[in-house]
Amino acid sequence: MAHPSQLGFQDAASPVMEELLHFHDHALMIVLLISTLVLYIIVAMVSTKLTNKYILDSQEIEIIWTVLPAVILILIALPSLRILYLMDEINDPHLTIKAMGHQWYWSYEYTDYEDLGFDSYMIPTQDLAPGQFRLLEADHRMVVPVESPIRVLVSAEDVLHSWAVPALGVKMDAVPGRLNQTAFIASRPGVFYGQCSEICGANHSFMPIVVEAVPLKHFENWSSMMLEDA
């Protein structure tokens, strides 16, 4: 998860997020090179009184500074479109979970099971155990198996919400009366935190999302225990 004074992204916990991190570094390097070139040109123009007639009127330079930006845009657009299609790809999910946004908590339904569903509320600050994170911990976590394609159906019951977990590279709007879907694969075990990313009212800051990725055997034990309790 993120920590104070962090400059970069969180560590990737899914293949899509790894691709997004690589694309971010790729685009940032291009921006850095462009900024360096522009800064050099500005400094050169301000610090010298010399002029070059071939720069003031040159067909070749006109062609270069027309073609070069187009090439740079292509170098950014192609990997961007590739990741965009990857994020929309949902191939044979092993598990489907419906996440429903409410004011101000989330409810989860494991649609592959008959009676597996629960509400997930933020744990108040005074009830936190040592080591738990303020405003990020929930009383019930969304538990998923590791290295399995998970489909999440996202909707809302009252106002707009947004189901977002940065480490998994997932963000999907929850719209009342509409069912959106997204997918992810947790590439390693862990606990991944997110928050509602659409301003949804007075307690918008107090509806965290906690996804716990566990090995398949542990997930089966957890689901059996939840079904017994239900």
Per the structure, the count of domains in the chain is 2
Q: Which of 27, 59, 86 is the last residue of a domain?
A: 86
Asked if residue 144 lies in contact with residue 210, where contact means CB atoms within 8 angstroms, the answer is no
For residue 135, name the pLDDT band (cuts at 50, 70, 90): very high
Summarised one tens digit per residue, pLDDT across range 158-177 is 999 999 999 999 999 999 99
Check residues 8 and 81 and name the one with the higher pLDDT: 81
User: DSSP secondary-structure letter at 116?
Assistant: -
Domain boundary residue, one of 65, 86, 107: 86
User: Does residue 45 sit within a domain?
Assistant: yes
**In the predicted structure, residue 116 carries a pLDDT above the cut 70:** yes
| H and E: helices and strands count for the chain | 4, 10
Same domain, yes or no: 102 and 205: yes
Q: What is the pLDDT of residue 187?
A: 95
pLDDT at position 61, please?
A: 81
Phi/psi region, residue 201 (left: phi>0; alpha: psi -120 to 50; beta: rest), is left
Q: Are residues 117 and 205 in the same domain?
A: yes
Reported pTM: 0.85
Q: Give the residues across from 60 on adjacent strands.
A: none
Exposure on the CB side of residue 103, measured as CA atoms within 13 A: 9
Residue 5 placed within a domain? no
**Any idea which residue has 């928050």 for tokens?**
195
Assign residue 130 the CATH number of its domain.
2.60.40.420
- DSSP conformation letters of 87-98: HH---S-SEEEE
Q: 170-199 burial by CB neighbour count: b if 16+ within 10 A, else e?
A: bbbbbbeeeebebbbbbbeeebbbbbbbbe
Q: What one-character DSSP code corresponds to residue 205?
A: G
* Predicted local confidence at residue 82, as pLDDT: 94
Owning domain of residue 67: 13-86
Query: Tell me, what CATH number does 45's domain have?
Result: 1.10.287.90
